[in-house]
Each structure stands twice: as C-alpha cells, then as structure tokens.
Amino acid sequence: MPPLESLPGLGPVRAAALKKAGVADSRALIERLPVKYQDSTVLARIADLRPGEEAAFSGSIVSIRSYGYGKTTRVHVVVEDDSARVSLVWFGAAWLIKQLYTGQPLLLYGALSRAPNGARSVVHPSMLERRALLPIYASIDGLPGKALRGAIAAALDSITDAESGIPPSLIPESIRMNRRDALKQAHFPESKESLRRALRFLSFETLLLYAAALNRRNRPVRIEPLPIPPDIIDTFWAAQPFQPTNAQTRVSHEIITDMRADSPMARLVEGDVGCGKTALAFMALYAAVASGGQAAMMAPTEILAAQHARSAIRMLEPLGVRVGLLTGSVPAKERRGILSSIADGTLQAVIGTHALFSKDVEFSNLALCVTDEQHRFGVKQRAALSGKTAHPHTLVMSATPIPRTLAMLLYGDLKRSVVDESPPGRIPIQTRYVPERKRADMYRFIRSQASEGRQAYIVCPHATRTEDADCASAEWLAQSLRDKGGALEGLRVGIAHGSQPSKLRAQTLSAFHAGNLDVLVATTVVEVGVDAPNAAIIVIENPERFGLAQLHQLRGRVGRGGAKSWCFLMGERNERLDALVSTRDGFEIARKDLAMRGPGDLLGVRQHGLPEAEAIASGADEPLMVMARQAVEEASSRGGEDYSTLAEAARARFGDTIIT
C-alpha cells in the first residue's frame, strides 16, 4: 500500500498529524472507521426537529444578518419550509455572507438547540451538496475532515490484501463477506443496508478478536488460599450500624468463596447507584487484612478516594484495620511517610487514585486489589495495580449497569456479581420534565427546599460558553443565577467543572458535601464521587445531550439522605428520555440505551479512550456479541489450527493491552 505522504491531500505535515494520532500507515488508515454518519437520505420537516437529535432538513433563506468582525463574526440565517422556520448560526464565518442570498434553497444537517429563553436554532449546521450517507471521523488536529475522507478513498482504491488473519470458518455464513468490500461500504456506503452488512461483518471480526484475547488472559493460576477466618462475613456486618440487604449477603459469600480458593479471584461487582457496593468492597478489604495481607482500593478521582477513605476509617478501624489514603496531591513529606508505612505493612488498607500504581509504591504483602468505577479505567491501569504483587485477588466495581452480554465481552475474564437490591428506606426519586415556561417555578421550588436545609445540583453540558451558544454552560448559568436580580440571588451558589484548577474544584465539592453551599452548578464532574446527603434536587440542562445511563448516574446523586428527592429534566418531552422518566431500574435503562445508541456510546468508550473501545464497533448488538463469544469458546475447546490462528491474530491486534 502507498505511504501516507503520497496519498492525495496529505503530504508530510498532514501525514505527521495522522501518525501523531496513532495512524502509522495506509492500512491503519482504512481500519479507522467513521464514528458516525450524516444521514441526509431522509429529510425531516423543520417543525419536527427535536433538541439534540441530528437530522437532515431543507429550507429557503428568509433573512441573513451578521454581527461582529473577523474571527468574532456571528452569521445568523433564518430558513423556512412549509412547516416552520428555524435560525441557523455560524461563528467566525464571515465568508458565508458573500455566498448566501435571500430565497436560496439549502440542504442542511445539524442538531436543534433550545436556548433558556425558548428560542430554537441549529448551530454550525453542515451545508450539503447532495443527499447521502456521509462518513464522519474522529477529529485529528491539523487534518480537515474532507482531506481525511479523500485520503481514505485513495487508500481503499489501492489495497490488494485487506484480510484480518481470522479463519473464515469462524465467521457465520450469514455475516461473512469480502473484507475489502466491507471496508469500502463502511467508509462510503452505497445504501443503509450495505452499511449495516459491512459494519456487522467488521464488528463481528473485532468482537471475535477481543473475545479471543480475553480467553488467553483467563489461564488458570494456582496460589496459596488465604486463611480467612470462618466467621468473617458475620463479624464485618455485625460491626456496622445497618443490616446488609439480601443481595449484599449473597455477594459477600460469592466474594469470600473466591478469596478462599486456590486461584486468584477476578470478580466484577455491578449494581445500581446506592445499592451498597462500597460496603461490599470494605468487607473484602477486611477479609484480606484479617488473613494477614494488605488491600488496595483505587478510585478514579481524589474526591471519591477521600470519601472512600473516610468511610473505610469509620467502618474498618473499629475492626482493627489501619487505613491510609494516597493521592497525587499528598505533600512530598507526608507521601514519604505513607509509602514507608505501605512498604512495611503498617498501613493494611490503602485507598487512593492512580497514584497507587506509581513505581515508588511498594506493598509488603498485597493480597487484594479493588478498582472502583471500573469503566473509567483501562485494562492496563487495572493490571498496573495488580502487578504490585504476584497474582493478587481482584475485585472491580461498576455503578454503570451493563447488560449481561455486553459485560461478557468487556469483562469476559471476570466472574459477575449483581447487587440488585437497594437498602431499605431509600425514597424513590421523582423524575419530571420541566418545560422552559416553568423554569421560574422550578427556581422558586429550589428556594423553598433550601430554606429547609435541602441542596440542589444543576448540571450543564459545558463548562464555559462555546460555539454551541444555545447550550447551557455552567459558568454563565451560575453567574446569572446568583447575580443581583438573579433567580437564586441570596443563596450560596457554587460552581465546579473540569476546566478549573483541581484544588479549587475539590474545595467547592467539599463545601457542597459539608452543606456550606445551597446550590452547585456543575458539569458531569459530579457524576462520580460526590455524596451529599442533603441534596434533594438535581436539575439537568439540555438532557438530550447525555446518554440515558449517564443521566441515571447523575440522578443517583440525590435521594441519598432519606428525604424525598427530584430530578428535573429541562425541556419538552423526548421519546428517548421517556425511558428515564418511566423507570428507576438502572439495568432496564442500560438495556434501552444499548438498543438506542449502541454499546460504544453506552460505555463512553469514545470519550474515555479505553483500550476496550476497539472491540465496540458501530455494528455490534447483543446477538452479535453472543455469537462472537460462543464462536471463541467453541474454537478454544476444539483447539487446532483455527484457534491458534485466531489467537495469534488477537495478539497482533491488541498486543499486550489485553493479553498478559
């Protein structure tokens, strides 16, 4: 295949940008599939456009206006069809003024936004030349999308061998197709049906390789069983100020059975928000320490790690367990003392962040590794912590409910425990739509709740103003609410988002947790690791911008203190969001999210960059996942050349990212 530099529209500079993004050659380029497609084969009426849902539509220009100069220019165009009018907005596009004229017909693609004042607009819509399925790729700095499409088209024309190394016998005949044709249709589909077939074939290949890689990891290892005291479960729960649920008792026995075995435990504990997974993790930590070992628990944020440490001290120190906290912000002198105590075994249970698998962290006798919010860590990170000792027991927890078949693929090397029961006394959270005309009433309700000592979250999609001007931003909303004359003037309103200095953000979140703020305006930084018992309201701006599973996670931030709680979705009724309003079952919501958006979006792999993301291709669905898993298990049991070839192809694809 031709070198990247020789492909049309690239050259040395753009080829270097591709290589920086991990695309080493032309073959890697054609394997980089689109993240989505602009479907303009079907046009929506302007009146039928829905907030947050991308669609193709057409209309004639009614008016053209521009504001500002140069890079600050804002072009505002109104178009209409026979059903309605809508505004189009472009920023920094002064050149459009010379190309557009009143009465001009436009073919457009974009997502409708609704401003806090109710105005409808489409920000930065694409202007299309024809109706088609246009591939959209993950953005690469220094490489325009049009140039990338041209380079991929040229690379596809030049390929002679596009095979993946997977034996054809392992691919069902109903899915099988020529791989070169599949790649061409995946990049430049002739129809929706040809795209569906191509993605299904390529997805199945990737799922096969991923399942084979996990199968190779699952080799039996023999270890010395931990001498866990026989009454460990009863002793732990008897020391707590609450009774375990039936689900917690069942999972406790599953964990302890694994930890008493002569092979390392590898178990996923999965459950809905507030089901008591953390207490189960502490029970496992106690069992490891009571057996003479050490235990480590890793959380994705310093705030969550600190909360876990406080809870662990409260629940474990009365049982004689010495608990420590290690995060990246610990001062150097204090850190040296903590590292020394970990190394000599003085600290028996260590809670921390990524800092736990730093090279200078050495354990005396690490018996158990717990990873919280597993979906936020890649396999390499999990392995880095486990690599602190030979074959430790591993427990991973996820508060993102995952459909069973998807969990089989993502965590195929783990046994699975489901905590499907919440502690008694939790009052169901009321979820309601709040249309823009009722916004003032909602703010008055927040005021009345604040007067009774209740707190509220307000979650926005963006931290600051962006080109997506009609989408709520945390900075702007917080300022407008607490300003003189603002809807929440006089209340203690804080703000937290990922663009802030970490120390400032942590201080704000801690102040909210301590009850020193009435309202916290934030981005999704509050999705994990903020436990405020007095929080009774969560308002979600532009809820159409979030996945159902993520919205369910956010909803779980309230209702943790026993008071009646509410989740308000700002906007009109939305068919996709009805699933959130109609049920509080996180597993049912996850199943609906999987069906609507696909597994890649459900787990956020595109956003979080997990190594597993390669296995979650656009054409995957639950039946396909089951077929892939079964095909690998059958090939593995038969052995022979086909399985050896598949295993080698899996190693070539994933390297040591998965296979250890």
pLDDT of 552 higher than 70: yes
Helix (H) or strand (E) holding 403: none
Cβ(549)–Cβ(401) below 8 Å: yes
Q: Which carries the bigger pLDDT value, residue 321 or residue 642?
A: 321
**pLDDT bucket at 343, cuts 50 / 70 / 90:** very high
Average pLDDT estimate for 244-256: 96
Long-range contacts of 312-319 (CB under 8 A, 24+ apart): 312/282, 312/285, 312/349, 312/351, 315/239, 315/240, 315/279, 315/282, 316/282, 316/285, 316/286, 316/289, 316/349, 318/239, 319/235, 319/236, 319/239, 319/286
Cα 465 to Cα 336: distance, rounded to the nearest angstrom: 42
Domains of the chain, first to last: 42-127 (2.40.50.140), 232-262+275-398 (3.40.50.300), 430-583 (3.40.50.300)
The residue ranking higher by pLDDT, 83 or 547, is 83
**Residue 2 has which token pair?**
């031709």
Q: Tell whether the model's pLDDT for residue 353 goes beyond 70.
A: yes
Average pLDDT on 395-414 reads 65
Burial (0-12, 13-18, 19+ Cβ within 10 Å), 310 = middle
Q: Examine the pLDDT at 631 and tell me if it is beyond 80.
A: yes
Per-residue pLDDT averaged across 198-203, rounded?
89
Number of residues that make up the chain = 660
Around Cβ 542, how many Cβ atoms within 10 Å? 23
Query: What residues have CB less than 8 Å from 582, skipping those under 6 apart?
Result: none
Check residues 611 and 71 and name the one with the higher pLDDT: 71
- pLDDT for 377 equals 47
By the 8 A CB rule, do 569 and 543 touch?
A: yes
**pLDDT category of residue 64 using cuts at 50, 70 and 90:** very high
Which residue is listed with tokens 């200078």? 360
Dist. CA 405–CA 232, nearest whole Å: 33
- Phi-psi sector, 193: left (phi>0), alpha (psi -120 to 50), beta: alpha
Sequence-distant (≥ 6) Cβ neighbours of residue 446 within 8 angstroms: 456, 488, 491, 519, 537, 539
Q: What confidence score (pLDDT) does residue 613 get?
A: 41
Which one has a higher pLDDT value, 579 or 252?
252
Are the CB atoms for 398 and 270 separated by under 8 Å? yes
DSSP notation for 254-282: HHHHHHTSSS--EEEEEE-TTSSHHHHHH
End-to-end CA distance of the chain: 32
Q: Which range among 72-86, 114-128, 258-272, 312-326 has the greatest average pLDDT?
A: 312-326
Dig out the tokens for 566 from the structure: 């509410």
Which pLDDT belongs to residue 598?
55
Contacts by residues 640-647 (CB-CB < 8 Å, ≥ 24 positions apart): 641/167, 642/167, 642/169, 642/170, 645/165, 645/166, 645/167, 646/166, 646/167, 646/170, 646/208, 646/209, 646/212, 647/212, 647/215, 647/216
- Span 442-474, pLDDT tens digits: 999 999 999 999 999 999 988 876 544 456 788
Give, for 526, the enclosing helix (H) or strand (E).
none
Q: Which range is least confidently modeled, 150-164, 181-195, 343-357?
A: 150-164
pLDDT, tens digit, for every residue of 279-324?
A: 999 999 999 999 999 999 998 888 788 889 999 999 999 999 999 9
Record the pTM.
0.68
Mean pLDDT value of segment 473-478: 88
3-state secondary structure of 87: strand
Share of the chain above pLDDT 70, in %: 86
CB contact at 8 A, 207 and 215: no
Mean pLDDT, range 54-66, rounded to an integer: 93
Mean pLDDT, residues 393-404 taken together: 74
- Nearest Cα neighbor of 88 from 113, 53, 118, 52 is 113
User: What is the Cα–Cα distance from 377 to 305, expressed in whole angstroms?
Assistant: 14
Structure confidence at residue 116 (pLDDT): 59
Catalogue the E-assigned strands of 236-365. Answer: 266-271, 294-298, 323-326, 349-352
Q: Give me 31's structure tokens.
A: 């394997």
Mean pLDDT rounded to a whole number for the chain? 84
Retrieve residue 395's tokens. 């427990």
CA–CA gap between residue 586 and residue 609 (Å, rounded): 23
Provide CB contacts within 8 A for 653, sequence distance 6+. 164, 206, 209, 213, 614
Q: Is the pLDDT of residue 119 over 70?
A: yes
Confidence of residue 549 (pLDDT cuts 50, 70, 90): confident
Predicted confidence at residue 253, as pLDDT, reads 97
249, two tokens: 């008792």
Please tell me the predicted confidence (pLDDT) of residue 411. Answer: 56
Q: Quick check: 114 pLDDT over 90? A: no
H or E segment to which residue 104 belongs:
none
Q: Which residue has the higher pLDDT, 146 or 453?
A: 453
Q: Is the distance from CB of 426 to CB of 559 less than 8 angstroms?
A: yes
Q: Which helix (H) or strand (E) holds 569?
A: strand 566-570
Asked whether the predicted pLDDT for residue 619 surpasses 70, the reply is: no
Looking at residue 402, its pLDDT comes to 62
Q: Averaged over 500-506, what is the pLDDT?
A: 85
Bridge partner list, 568: 432, 539
Q: Which pLDDT value is given to residue 82?
A: 94
Distance CA 275, CA 279 (A): 9
CA distance 482 to 508: 16
Q: Ramachandran region of residue 483, left (φ > 0), alpha (ψ -120 to 50) or beta? A: beta
Q: Which residue has the tokens 């600051």?
A: 464
Beta carbons within 8 Å of 6's beta carbon, 6+ residues apart: none
